Amino acid sequence: MLNLIRMNNYRVRHMTCMYVLAIIICLFAVFSISTISFTADDMAAGTYEDYEGMAQAMEAGWNEAEAEAMAKENADEDADVKIGVTITQNEGYDEDSEKKSDAYNAGYEAGQEIAMNFGIYSNQPIRPDGTVSSYIAYLYEDISSGILLIFMTIAIVLFFNREQNSGFVKNIAAKSVSRASIYFSKFISMILYMLFTFVVLAVAEYIALMAYYHGDLTFGMDVMDEFLPKILVIILLHIAFLSGVVMVTTLTKSSTMGITIGMLANTGFSSFIVLFIRAKFDFDISDYLINYNLTRVNLDSGSEVVNHALIVGIITIIVYNVIGCTWFAKRDIA
């Protein structure tokens, strides 16, 4: 098993696409920080829209003018930068009684979002004066947005299918090596690469922020006690999501299918399923989806939210890997 991991790590180090993805992550860090000035200018001018507050107002049935007034009234010093489309869910709302369904209220009280969103969302801790609360807080928001899952979906699908297409895995399987060892050694190598991308993003954002603020940057040691345990949960949720991508890729033997489903799931297209189940069965399935739990584990989240995400992540990893490994062990390796 250890030799297989070393072999796979060697292969990862010699795949050009892995370095290309790392460079793209660095470019994303620069792009993310380049938006700070635009957001700060909008906040200072009072033109910045509180999209989340607007969605809540529309959900409650208020008109556009009232929603805009409420959004401005409730705006705090931290910006909520979002790129995507917001869809509000009106089923479960009774206009006569002005009450939502029990399941919907339970979800709201648990800190869940009222609106289903498409896109990658990063709640950057930007103040109206253009400063950020701290480097640690900024980094955490970008990582918890799930942006790295976009790159990791591509990396893990290409890696898993490359040896399948070249016939390399057939030679390995012929040497009396257990299929489970082959499967998990590749998966572990991808986890190590994922941790590498975390470090790349962290270093790139630190350098970019230092350059943007000319060295006048608060690191954020005061939030480290919250950051460390929650970033571990975020990492676990990333591993859980990638487990699902690997499972789909293994079941279908298709790189296209693995990348497509991974991209759609991470960019919010599961919202259709969530909204349908809410409307038909009065049940909030988003509680058990990885991408929704990612966005709910914030630095100020309570233990209930964090523990729930931890349990969902662990169970998801086990289920996806059992299915994927079992299928890989029984299928014919061509």
Rounded to 10 degrees, the C-alpha dihedral 40/43/49/50 comes to: 90
Quick check: 126 and 81 in contact, CB under 8 A?
Answer: yes
**Rounded mean pLDDT of the chain?**
77
Does the pLDDT at position 42 exceed 90?
A: no
* Confidence at residue 333, expressed as pLDDT on a 0 to 100 scale: 57
Kindly give the residue spans of alpha helices, DSSP state H, lying in 167-302. Answer: 168-173, 179-212, 224-252, 255-266, 271-281, 290-296
| Whether 255 contacts 157, CB under 8 Å | yes
pLDDT of residue 173: 55
119 closest CA partner among 51, 43, 169: 51
pLDDT at 97 over 50: no
Residue 80, pLDDT > 70, answer: no
Burial classification of residue 135, based on how many CB atoms lie within 10 Å of its CB (0-12 exposed, 13-18 middle, 19 or more buried): buried
Closest by CA position to 152, among listed 256, 234, 262, 260: 262
Against a cut of 0.85, is the pTM above it?
no
Question: Band of the pLDDT at 33, cuts 50, 70, 90?
Answer: confident
- Between 62 and 130, residue with greater pLDDT: 130
Question: 170: which 2 tokens?
Answer: 């057939």
pLDDT at 241: 94
Q: Give the start-to-end residue ranges of the domains of the chain.
A: 2-41+141-330
Look at residue 117 and give its three-state secondary structure. strand
Taking phi first (over 0 means left), then psi (-120 to 50 degrees means alpha), and beta for anything else, what does residue 110 get? alpha
The answer to whether residue 226 scores a pLDDT higher than 80 is yes
